[in-house]
Amino acid sequence: MRGLRLRDAGVELRIGVALLLAIIILGLVVPAFAPEDPRRWNTVPRNLAPGGDYLLGTTSQGQDVFWLLALSVRNSLWVGFTVGVIATLFGAVVGMAAGYVGGLPDRVLTLLTDSFIVIPALPILILFSALLEGRASLLLVGCVLAVFNWPRPARQTRALVLSLREREFMRTAWFAGSNTLQIIRREIAPYLTGWFIANFVYTVLIAIATETGLAVIGLSNLQDTTLGGMIYWALRHQAILAERWYWIGPPTLVIIVLSVALFVVSSGLSKLSARRRGL
């Protein structure tokens, strides 16, 4: 009974990882083989349906949809990765410090975390992008997204650390003469690794979704194409009315598959690590 459920969770996680790997290969390996910069206009004939020389057809600007898609995937992944790394690390440090040190530092950090959670990120991001008029580099967009995404990991890390602090082995470490830093590094951090990765993957999901949202309304970086940017240009050039599904369809489909894969991997990993922690 129990074994069966474990295996079920395993299947989900495995499918998620497989989908994610496929998309990562599409984004990280494929663009290197592009015959020319896929963003350039009029490198191929316009408005060709899929098949023939062009796998996924061509846009009304004379771009090859397939290579454009691969490049967009790469840029979207890159934004997600940047935000994931910065936000998860920063959040984890704040959460661990707050949870482990306690007292006044904890109160101050928790207050700060709670304040950042209530700030609606999207209007600020929209303002940011509007003032930079679509010229913000993807790295900058990533950094701004990170500013609004550290509180969630921080809060969760704090809660986890608080529950860990009361465990027996923590006291043992303390009595054995370890100092605070050593305890955080050697006792708490390893315990949380699996959970960290789950959280990282989830932050990547949120970041990619948010960047896509900004891009769909034309407010992310419009020079370096991302999946959302591709949808934006397809909409701008009336791909729906012209029924050019091969232009707007692929980025939409990839966003959906990518989101679902990231979600499944994240929840699968956090279940796995909870089980390992004996919860």
Whole-angstrom Cα distance, residue 11 to residue 25?
Answer: 21
CA 1 to chain centroid, in Å, comes to 34
Helix (H, G, I), strand (E, B) or coil at 222: coil
Q: Is 269 in the site for another protein (CB under 8 A)?
A: no
**Contact (CB, 8 A) for 54 and 67:** no
Q: Is 260 in the site for another protein (CB under 8 A)?
A: yes
Nearest to 36 by CA among 77, 16, 66, 5: 66
Q: Is 123 in the site for another protein (CB under 8 A)?
A: yes
Q: Is 145 in the site for another protein (CB under 8 A)?
A: no
Binding region for another protein (CB under 8 A) out of 18-26, 37-45, 61-69, 113-121: 113-121
Q: Is 231 in the site for another protein (CB under 8 A)?
A: yes
Least distance to another protein, CB of residue 155, Å? 12
Site for another protein in 165-184 (CB under 8 A): none
* DSSP category for residue 218: T
**Tokens 């959040």 map to which residue?**
91
**What angle do helix axes 65-101 and 103-118 make, rounded to 10 degrees?**
150
Q: Is 28 in the site for another protein (CB under 8 A)?
A: no
Least distance to another protein, CB of residue 189, Å? 27
Q: Is 114 in the site for another protein (CB under 8 A)?
A: yes
Binding-site size for another protein (CB under 8 A) equals: 38
Q: Is 120 in the site for another protein (CB under 8 A)?
A: yes
Q: Is 47 in the site for another protein (CB under 8 A)?
A: no
Neighbours of 160 (CB within 10 A): 19
Nearest to 9 by CA among 276, 272, 279: 272
Q: Which residues bind another protein (CB under 8 A)?
A: 12, 111-112, 114-124, 126-128, 130-132, 205, 209, 212-213, 216-217, 231, 240-241, 252, 255-256, 259-260, 262-264, 267
